[in-house]
Structure 1
Amino acid sequence: MEHHSSSMPLRGEMAQGASNTGPLVIVTILFFMWGLLTSLNDVLIPHLKAVYTLSYVQAMLVQFCFFGAYFIVSIPAGMLIKKIGYQHGAVAGLTIAAAGCALFYPAATSGYTLFLIAFFVLAGGITILQVAANPYVTVLGDPQTASSRLTLTQAFNSLGTTVAPTLGGMLILAGGVLSAEDLAKQSSEQLAAYHASQAAAVQGPYLALAAALLLLAVLFAMARLPKIVDGEQASTGGWSQVLQQRHLVLGALAIFLYVGGEVSIGSFLINFLGDAKVAGLSAADAAPFVSYYWGGAMVGRFIGFAAMRYISPGKALAFNAAAVIALVLLGIFGSGHVAMWAMLAVGLFNSIMFPTIFSMALNKLGPLTGQGSGLLCMAIVGGALVPFAQGLLADSISLQTSFFVPAACYTFILYFGLKYANMYTEE
């Protein structure tokens, strides 16, 4: 799951002779942690669904709280950072995210609601972090290589999303979850012990994450980072002027549907691979395969980085969207290994979509770029709402059929890519 900052003119002011390597390493670790925390949700959803015997819609409340936080916290985060500065903002974000991880400890023994609050706090911290950390990548070094640095940190973000499902599968899902029939046979003592062990499976990993985030907060507070000076914000014209930019509004809708589709597929993958018609895998066995989904996005990003020097962004976007629709349909109508690998291969074609839509939507916005970027960041709320829609369909019809929801999302992205296929050539 990639994230971009608003592209405001930024200047870094650094003490003479100070090296950028240390700060850049810290920022890169941040991106890695971010990816890790976001895709761990894909492992926790089936775990919580089984432990609390939830419907799909109830299980998707995880993504609703997580991505809902982006929507709610984005604007206050920007105001906070204006007040306390980027470096303190990043420290605040890390500390809040650590508090969110620490909340998993009491949540594991109290119930689903506290889990949802913990997800919201964690994502709120990550949102503040995003608003603060992205600009650092651009100012830590030569402006001309800023986009290649962003690609590098994005790759580490992808590495985090790739490692998390396998790691989470080993730590959280390894114990396996009893079915409703098995639970009914347990005595009350056995039940209490079972719930305690299920809770402990989540507590350990998230306490470790809380500690890691606090350590990063300390490093960030001590690091000698350049002062980021915001360029003059030429916010000429209000939102009415921003919303008149048709390609921006369509781009925001495309971001909404893309993040929604990507998150939705990731959220349902473990349950999908557990379906007897598909692969019949246990949750613990299915988790490492989710790493292929996110790993594909990492590989695809490198391929895309090379290919998109020669192909127009719109055409590349349309091609990838068409490929995703075909693969998802294979997953819906196929069975066995065909359906399984088709759905996992979606990640590879997801790779370039977020940055491509983002840059196309902001094309030629000039002084409105900052506001346009804010609008696009709020559109990430798609990750909260689309999985919900798929959950409703999964509960009422069937899990396999529910993948029509993300397929429909990608249809709009195909349209957006074709509509602006020649955007950069019509100079």
Structure 2
Amino acid sequence: MNTSLAPRLILGQTLQLPVDPFVAPPTEGARHDRHGAILVEAGRVAALGSAESLRAAHPQAEVEDMGEALLLPGFIDAHTHFPQTAMIASWGKRLIDWLNTYTFPEEARFHDPAYSATIAARYFDLTLAHGTTTTCSYATSHPVSVEAYFTEARRRGLRAVAGKTCMDRNAPDNLRDTAQSAYDDSKALLERWHGVDRLEYAITPRFTPTSSREQLHALGALWGEYPDCLMQTHLSEQVDEVAWVRDLHPQARDYLDTYEAADLLGPRGLYGHSIYLEPREVDRIAEVGAALVHCPTSNTFVGSGVFAMAAMKARGIPVGLATDTGGGSSFSMLRTMAAAYEIGQLAGTALHPAQLLWLATAGSARAMHMDDKIGTLAVGSEADIVALDLGSTPAIAQRLAEADDIWDAVFPTIMMGDDRAIAGVWVAGKRC
């Protein structure tokens, strides 16, 4: 990375989405400048405007001219599993068999600090190559996996979130912890890493089937001690998973109630997938202000189902967007946006390009309670930026040539783009 802290002007097309495009008409408030610029100082956005005006106002600033590239906030992946990097795109299983066949054997390898460090470095190489500047990840049940993730993220200056994945039942012996060790390990990691540089800890029960009541309650108690932390888990991903939870907790009103009874429902909760929600669950999530995370490539890859985006947003529920690596089949948030569009079509609600871009930036930031820091190009935001080449392949370029406006111009890249579309990435104002 370029470590220069001198004021820098990044030139290109700029696009701001200051208004939630699910609440207002999608393009309301959107501001596109075909010849724009971002002034970066001390790792933050210091000014945003036309290239001409900012160059005149800051003649001593270093200039990076990205030409016709579109400058956006760096993408934010709100639910991922970095330890599953090496087994992404594993064939042919639904969730529970997929966990047993692929995920758990791979995660067992993370007892080794060297392997954990190797995969953490590989993971961030891949995510940055796809324009993702913030990730919220599950680690494994091994504390060294959390150490590896945070150590690598800190080395690169990234804003990053993670937690030790806690599970004390229905998992292999070499991945199980206990209620007490889950609490002790999580607390020690939290106190070591939470708030260091740009890092945040998330309390992380994998999901109800792999955590006993005692473990869920222990983690709920920990969250009560550190309410400024995020808490992440899985909820209602597949029909057979929901039935399994019903068998394990016959006294519960529904799946969400297994978390609620353990004090694991709150405004800083992130509930991945959330496809098969009962009306009471939707009511409670909306009431407490918790967030859901849509994982469209994962939901199709392991055959989970169709997330009700329009219904959840209509209830005012914050929704983030995520790859869910390695259940998801791509490290790319562009591919994830494309899958969200396709899922929306199946649900009868086509998502506008503004909505897709917002989900991958400000929407995920809002779900993670970081929208005052990342996810926008607003003055004062941390300068995590991605530049998109809107004509990165011949197929995309020929469609771009027919575009009438910025939405026509960016949509082909959303639908067909990959890492070739990433023309530049900046983390806290430093070029990667």
User: Which range, TM-score by smaller chain?
Assistant: under 0.3
TM-score normalized by structure 2? 0.23
TM-score normalized by structure 1? 0.24
Q: Larger relative CO (CA 8 A, sep 6+): 1 or 2?
A: 1
- Which of the pair is proportionally richer in helix? 1
